[in-house]
Structure 1
Amino acid sequence: MKKNILIAFGLSLVFSLSQCKRENDLPQPEQSSEVADLKKTKAVDAAAGLGGPVMMQAFYWDVPAGGTWWNVVKGKVAAWNTAGFSSIWLPPASKAQNGAFSMGYDPFDYYDFGQYNQMGSTETRFGSNTELTSLITTAHNNGLEVYADMVINHNSGGASEFNPFTNSNTWTKFTPLSGKFSRSYYDFHPNDAHAKDEGAFGDFPDLCHSKQWVKDWLYLRTDAVGKYYKNTMKYDGWRFDYVKGFGAWVVRDYVNAVGGFAVGELWDSNVDVLKGWVDGTNRTSSAFDFACYYKMDEAFDGNNMYKLNDDMLWKRDPYKAVTFVANHDTDIIYDKYLAYAYILTAEGYPCVFYRDYEEWLSKTRLNNLIWIRRNLVSGSTTNLYTDNDEYIARRNGNPGIIVYLNDSDTWQEKWITSNWASTQIKDYTGSSTWVPTTEADKRVKIQAPPHSYTVWSKVGY
């Protein structure tokens, strides 16, 4: 279940003033003529190559109540588009048990986006149906896809009814004002079909996905939840909450019936489990790369860069891995700049957390990394050097990059083998003023500042 884990952290980055440029001097998205063309292509799957998509998680736990959030996000989408984002992930948008105070993870009426007076309010915590529709339209007009947070494992807010399968009263009688997808004890566990789905969840009434009524209303009917979200509300894809609670076949059948990008929240650090779930959806869905998330914490906060060489979902299946540094549930990585430099230059589909981008970190530095990703990063990955404090990797495409992560207390330099022979290269983060020329055999010496990073590519981009 959703938790509010917001771990306070301090950010201390030491730079050599003689070697570093001001943030305003860093390469910016608008400096590239390629950006406009990159934006024209919708990103419905993670791309490992040049111009790969970047997602914004456009909320955090306990965003301000009062029905203002849709308009807050709407006011930012144009700038996010300019920065190079491809998509936004919105919180669960329909009416939940706690009405105007709910973050949406206790869903009651899947068709009430703030237009029915029920559960103590008309608007949701985030705003009205009209405001949500306007936000989605504005996002599309700015070249951004919009992903819905789908909570289909459990429901909340039902009335009490006698349940013959438990021989007691249960809160399983749902009669939403939308008049769609009413539910009773037959649609939850335990019932006449079985005691539970493939997973178990005990806090709220647990939907039974083997019931035809539930399948019909979630994704099979012409007015099913998924099809209504896609065809009427105009969502482009789905973030499935708590997919441990039901079989991977549910997401497979949903996406096959409805379409759109999909990513599942399978909270497990075991890459075999993550890859197995993706395969279980018949690869209709990506998964958040929790294996990468926990390895980054060990690498950057535990002074053990060797962990970056461990197995991760993006290394197994880069087109189906969504990487992240923090989200509304968990925020444990302290050295976030290194983590973002890692995921924004690595394969997979990186997701940036709203508070990191808008409040806690330097937007200029993150925009610079996004620009690098959209203009320079391509190809497969080759590890060039790793020790406790340093990690250097090469992306082998055209033009490709060399990323140098340095978690030590001093500037570091290394000779490495680049992508380029007899070619001038530079650091596109602006941290190093070096402009070396690679040797005929492609070798070159590069550097990185303490507790920071550099990203090197051919001069001229």
Structure 2
Amino acid sequence: MNGVMIQYFHWYHPGDLWNEFADRVILLKDLGFTAAWMPPAPKGDLGTEGRGYDPYDLYDLGEFDQKGGVPTRYGTREEYLNAIEKAHEAGISVYADIVLNHRMGGDENEWITVHEVDENNRNNIISEPFDVSANTRFTFPARKGKYSDFIWDYRCFSGIDTAWKNRKKITGIFKIHNEYGTEWTDDVSHQLGNYDYLMGADVEYRNPHVIQEMKNWIRWYSETTQVDGFRLDALKHFSSDFLKEWITYIKTEVDPGCYILGEFWKDDAEKIGIFSDKMDELISCFDAPLHYNFFRASEEGSDYDLRRILTGSLLEKRPLYSVSFVENHDTQQLQALESTVKDWFKPLAYAIILLSEEAYPCVFYPDLFGAEYTDIKDGEEINIVMPKVEILPALLKARHQFAYGEQIRYFDHPNCIAWVRKGDEDHSVCVTIISNSEEGSKEIEIGKEYAYAVFKDFLGYRNDEVTADGNGKAVFRVNARSVSVWVRSDA
């Protein structure tokens, strides 16, 4: 089917997204999208100013008057459910973004005991235990127990970054003392010594009541929304033992066909592979190493060796469990993981993820629709314009029509590479060629069945035609710093 996903949001999307998406589902279907990754739907601490990564009440999808109003940044519960229904009517699956690591915006303070740890080595304790007042009790008074009467308190959390001592606000990383110990859980990333803590009130997944509540919630969410899968945020930062148990529960007792996609952000495919093994390959992961290859290639220009563009990527190492992307809401300009692929290289990068065998590509919203936004950096207001990747609709069409069959790579030149998709009973051969320097060419033997066949550039960057010889061999060309997709002129 050549499935392709769209990340239907970016960090600075202005809002009212559920209605916008519902209005565009037919367009997305016509472009060939088969799935949409949507932003977090639950109510966050920042209300309509938040992006969903500040979770307050996971049961509030824009239904209750909490945190400044009823809707979230993206709309109301009714609009969210309608958007999902419209997607399903168009044959598009919906993947919901889920934030499991932390909570923000508690309703009441509690007196708790904590100790402080070194921000750069969380195993290094830098204070004696002391008592503080902390915002760790979540009662959701506006919801009044609807859907769940579970109350979150300090026993449900392992750490915080803000508290009050002697009536003064203090900040840092503070390990909460409760019956689950005074140490961080060990089955997390060991970056910074122990990366259990990320932000907010860090959820304690050694608490069996928390585990059961999260199972109850995901069943409710799945049945309520009818989503087809989940994108899980920040997997480096919480218990992989819990995660495996929770995903197994989803796939055995909630929805066996549920697609699970995780953000385990590492630039090393081997480390992502170790995590995947621990999850018994129940989960797919974003190919961050491939993104960084694209980023470096766009920065280095002709100095980058295109023969290595897939080296160290999940697409190379574990293609069946990888999701390829060019960039996302974290890597866009002014965001925490800023590593924006330069505009000139984006058509080349999208050609790689859309036309390569075994790739499951994810297209970023601004690359299809464009975006403009303003934010503050180092005290200065900066305006960012993200233009559309104009050739992207044609590349999506090429994927749908031609990206089939066995792949043969011609990764034999540092500045010009190509690959052939040989097609199948219903689809013709396709040759993709890219250059990061001057005009390039490749002599490619397509096969005797294509003797004297005439080829054209499906993308229209080149106006010449290529005719294969009697043995099905031809020389295909590409413009400087460009991409061409050669298909039969009668295809």
| Unaligned stretches of 5+ residues in structure 2 | 116-130, 159-175, 189-195, 333-339, 371-385
Alignment partner of 1:394 out of 413, 416, 420? 420
The C-alpha deviation readout for 1:340-391, integer Å capped at 9, x for no partner, is: 1111112321111111100145565211111111221124543213433212
Alignment partner of 1:432 out of 462, 471, 475? 462
TM-score, normalised via structure 1 length: 0.82
The root-mean-square deviation of aligned C-alpha atoms, in Å, is: 2.0
Matched, 1:354 2:345: no
Shift in Å, 1:78 = 1.2
Q: 1:363 to 1:311 in 2, by over 3 A?
A: closer
| Unaligned stretches of 5+ residues in structure 1 | 1-50
Tell me whether 273-282 or 123-132 shows the greater mean CA deviation: 273-282
Q: 1:301 to 1:440 in 2, by over 3 A?
A: farther
Residue in 2 that maps onto 1:137: 85
SS in 2 for 1:328: coil
Residue in 2 that maps onto 1:20: none
The C-alpha deviation readout for 1:67-108, integer Å capped at 9, x for no partner, is: x22111211111001110011111111011111211111101
8 A Cα contact 2:247 2:282, kept in partner: yes
Q: 1:317 to 1:396 in 2, by over 3 A?
A: farther
8 A Cα contact 1:420 1:438, kept in partner: no
8 A Cα contact 2:366 2:388, kept in partner: no
Residue in 2 that maps onto 1:321: 322
Alignment partner of 1:72 out of 1, 20, 23? 20
Alignment partner of 1:378 out of 396, 400, 404? 404
8 A Cα contact 2:10 2:365, kept in partner: yes
Measured in 2, the distance between the counterparts of 1:317 and 1:386 equals: 23
Residue in 2 that maps onto 1:11: none
Residue in 2 that maps onto 1:213: 209
Residue identity matched to 2:413: D
Residue in 2 that maps onto 1:448: 478
Measured in 2, the distance between the counterparts of 1:458 and 1:375 equals: 12
Alignment partner of 1:154 out of 102, 121, 129? 102
SS in 2 for 1:446: strand
8 A Cα contact 1:100 1:123, kept in partner: yes
How many residue pairs align between the two structures?
404
SS in 2 for 1:299: helix
SS in 2 for 1:239: strand
Matched, 1:61 2:61: no
Measured in 1, the distance between the counterparts of 2:423 and 2:281 equals: 25
Residue identity matched to 1:395: R
Measured in 1, the distance between the counterparts of 2:139 and 2:310 equals: 52
Residue identity matched to 2:210: V
Alignment partner of 2:351 out of 318, 337, 341? 341
Measured in 2, the distance between the counterparts of 1:396 and 1:209 equals: 49
Q: Which has the higher strand share?
A: 2
Residue identity matched to 2:79: E
Residue identity matched to 1:316: K
Residue in 1 that maps onto 2:179: 192
Measured in 1, the distance between the counterparts of 2:300 and 2:9 equals: 28
Measured in 2, the distance between the counterparts of 1:276 and 1:100 equals: 38
Residue in 1 that maps onto 2:246: 254
Shift in Å, 1:419 = 5.3
Residue in 2 that maps onto 1:405: 434
Residue in 2 that maps onto 1:28: none
Shift in Å, 1:218 = 1.4
8 A Cα contact 1:421 1:438, kept in partner: no
Residue identity matched to 2:111: F
Alignment of 1:262-277 (within 5 A): 262-277=260-275
Tell me whether 368-377 or 235-244 shows the greater mean CA deviation: 368-377
8 A Cα contact 2:307 2:411, kept in partner: no
The C-alpha deviation readout for 1:193-251, integer Å capped at 9, x for no partner, is: 243233322421111123211211212xxxx2221221111111111110001233434
The C-alpha deviation readout for 1:265-285, integer Å capped at 9, x for no partner, is: 111110101122222221111
8 A Cα contact 2:310 2:316, kept in partner: no
8 A Cα contact 1:196 1:208, kept in partner: no
Residue identity matched to 2:487: S
Measured in 1, the distance between the counterparts of 2:407 and 2:218 equals: 36
Alignment partner of 1:296 out of 280, 290, 294? 294
Tell me whether 339-348 or 356-365 shows the greater mean CA deviation: 356-365
Measured in 2, the distance between the counterparts of 1:196 and 1:105 equals: 22
Measured in 2, the distance between the counterparts of 1:255 and 1:376 equals: 35
Percent identity (aligned)? 28
Please identify the structure whose Cα radius of gyration is greater: 2
Measured in 1, the distance between the counterparts of 2:420 and 2:239 equals: 38
8 A Cα contact 2:42 2:55, kept in partner: yes
Residue identity matched to 2:22: K
Shift in Å, 1:161 = 0.7
Q: Which has the higher contact order (CA 8 A, sep 6+)?
A: 1
Matched, 1:311 2:312: yes
8 A Cα contact 1:418 1:443, kept in partner: yes
Residue in 2 that maps onto 1:102: 50
8 A Cα contact 1:383 1:394, kept in partner: yes
Shift in Å, 1:319 = 1.8
SS in 1 for 2:203: coil
Residue in 2 that maps onto 1:417: 445
Measured in 1, the distance between the counterparts of 2:104 and 2:354 equals: 37
Alignment partner of 2:391 out of 358, 361, 365? 365
SS in 2 for 1:393: strand
Matched, 1:182 2:151: yes
Q: 1:419 to 1:288 in 2, by over 3 A?
A: farther
Q: 1:247 to 1:107 in 2, by over 3 A?
A: same
Residue identity matched to 1:300: S
Residue in 2 that maps onto 1:225: 217
Measured in 2, the distance between the counterparts of 1:84 and 1:134 equals: 21
Residue identity matched to 1:337: P
Measured in 2, the distance between the counterparts of 1:225 and 1:440 equals: 64
Measured in 2, the distance between the counterparts of 1:243 and 1:414 equals: 42
